[in-house]
Structure 1
Amino acid sequence: MDYTMNLYVVRHGETYLNRYNKMQGWADSPLTEEGKVIAIEAGKGLANVQFDRVYTSDSGRTVETAELILQQNNYSSSLAINKRKAFREVFFGSFEGEHSEVAWNKVAQDNGYHTFNEMFRNHSIEGIMNFMKKSDPLHHAENHRELWKRLEKGLNEMVSESQSNSENILLVTHGVIIRNIISKFSDEYNNELEIKNSSVSILKYSSDMFKVISFNQ
C-alpha cells in the first residue's frame, strides 16, 4: 500500500529581528508577544488535526512556535518535537543581522538591478540565493544548491521515518525554506509573495511525490 502524508508547513511566529527588519537566517531571536499570539491562532486553526510527528529546525523561534501550536491541539499536545538542522533557515553569511533593505539592495545592485523588488520580479528563488552568496564579501552565504542539499535530505528522512501508511506531519520552519519547498513542488509559486509569520501551507505526499494543496494561509 502506498504511503501518504499530509504535511502542514508553518512559518514561525514574528520575532524581534523580524520586527526590526533585520536579516535572520542562522541568527535567532525570541518571538514577540504578538508573534506568540499569532502562533497560538495558527494552533487553534490546526486544533483538530491529529499529528503523528512534529519537526522543526534547531532554531529557538521554530521550537517555541511548535510548542504554542501543540498546546492548542486536541490530540497531539504531548508529541515530541524533532529538531533538525536540515530545516534551519538559509545562512545569510556576513549579511546576518544587517537591516534587510540594506542587504537586499546591495545584492540587487551588485547584480545589475536598481532595487531588490526589481530583482525579485526578474529571478527565481534559486537565482536570488545564488546572487546572495556572490554578493556576500566572504561568500559564506548558502547558495541554492547548498540549501537544497540539506533540505532535500531532511524531507527524505521525514518520509523514511514513517510509522504508518497515512500520517499528518507538522513542520515548523522558516520563510526561505518554505519558498524553496513551494517553488520546487508547485508551478504557481509567486516569488514576490511574502511568507506570513505563522502561515500554514499544506502539501500532500503520495506515489513518491509532493503536491502543494494550499499555500500561505
Structure 2
Amino acid sequence: MDTKFNLYLIRHGETYLNRYKKMQGWADSPLTEEGKAIAIETGMKLADVPFARVYTSDSGRTVETAEMILQQNHYSKNLSINRRKAFRESFFGSFEGEYSEVTFRKVAQDNGCSNSSELFQKHTLEEVMNFIKQSDPFRHAENYHELWERIDKGLNEIVSSNEHNHENILLVTHGVIIRHIISKFSTEFENTMEIKNSSVSVIEYFNNNYKVISFNQ
C-alpha cells in the first residue's frame, strides 16, 4: 500500500529566552503571554484540520504550544502528544543561554567572517552547525551529523507508524529543526530566514519522498 501523509511542522510559541534573544537549544523557558496568544491563533487557523497523530520534542515549550493548538482543534478530543527526544532543538553546548549575537559573532570570527550575516551568506547550514561545535570550548554542541541522525530517526518513526493514507500529522518542534528539514527536502525556499514562532510549514510525504508544500506561513 502506498504511504502518503501531510506533515505540519510548527515552531513553538515565543519564549522568554526568545524574547531576550538568547541561545535556547536544550535549555528551556516558558512561553510569553504573546507567545501563548499567537499559538492559539495558529490553532484557530488549523481548527478544521483533522490530525491523526501529534508529535513534539520533549521540551516544555513545544508541548505547551501543541496543547494550545489542539485546544482549538475540532477533531482533537482523543489525541495524545508523543514527546520525542529526536525532535529536540539543536544542542548549543556552552553557548546555551548566551546572547545569540555574542555566540554568532564568535562563530563568525572563528571562521574568517566579520559578522553572522556574512557567515550565513558564505556557508551552508551544515557548515555553520559544524562551526558552532568547533567554536564551543567544550565541544559539546551538536554538529550537523549528530543533529540530522536523530531528526532522521524521528521522521522514520513517523513514517513507520503510519496507519492510513492521507493522514495529517502535527509536529511541534524548533526553528533549527524545521530549517534543516526544509533544507534537506527543498532548494526553493530561503531556509536561512528566521523561522517565525508558531509558524506553519507543510510537507507532503509519498512513498519515501518528501515535498515541501509551504514554508514559514
Give the TM-score of the pair, scaled to structure 1.
Answer: 0.98
Aligned to 1:108: 108
What is the identity, as a one-letter code, of the residue corresponding to 1:76? S
Percent identity for Structure 1 against Structure 2: 70
Contact 1:70 1:78 survives alignment (8 Å): no
Contact 1:124 1:191 survives alignment (8 Å): no
CA distance in 2, matches of 1:2, 1:28: 39
What is the identity, as a one-letter code, of the residue corresponding to 1:150? R
* Cα-to-partner distance string for 1:83-104 (whole Å, 9 max, x where unaligned): 0000000000000000110001
Aligned to 1:23: 23
CA distance in 1, matches of 2:20, 2:80: 32
Equivalent runs, 1:38-187 vs 2, <5 Å: 38-187=38-187
What is the identity, as a one-letter code, of the residue corresponding to 1:19? R
CA distance in 1, matches of 2:33, 2:77: 21
What is the identity, as a one-letter code, of the residue corresponding to 2:147? L
Q: Which moved more, 1:38-47 or 1:76-85?
A: 76-85
* RMSD (CA atoms): 0.8
Gaps of 5+ in 1: none
Give the TM-score of the pair, scaled to structure 2.
Answer: 0.98
Contact 1:121 1:191 survives alignment (8 Å): no
Aligned to 2:207: 207
Aligned length, in residue pairs: 217
Q: CA deviation at 1:166?
A: 2.5
* Cα-to-partner distance string for 1:94-129 (whole Å, 9 max, x where unaligned): 000001100010000001000011101111110100
Q: Which moved more, 1:52-61 or 1:191-200?
A: 191-200
CA distance in 2, matches of 1:19, 1:165: 40
Contact 2:6 2:169 survives alignment (8 Å): yes
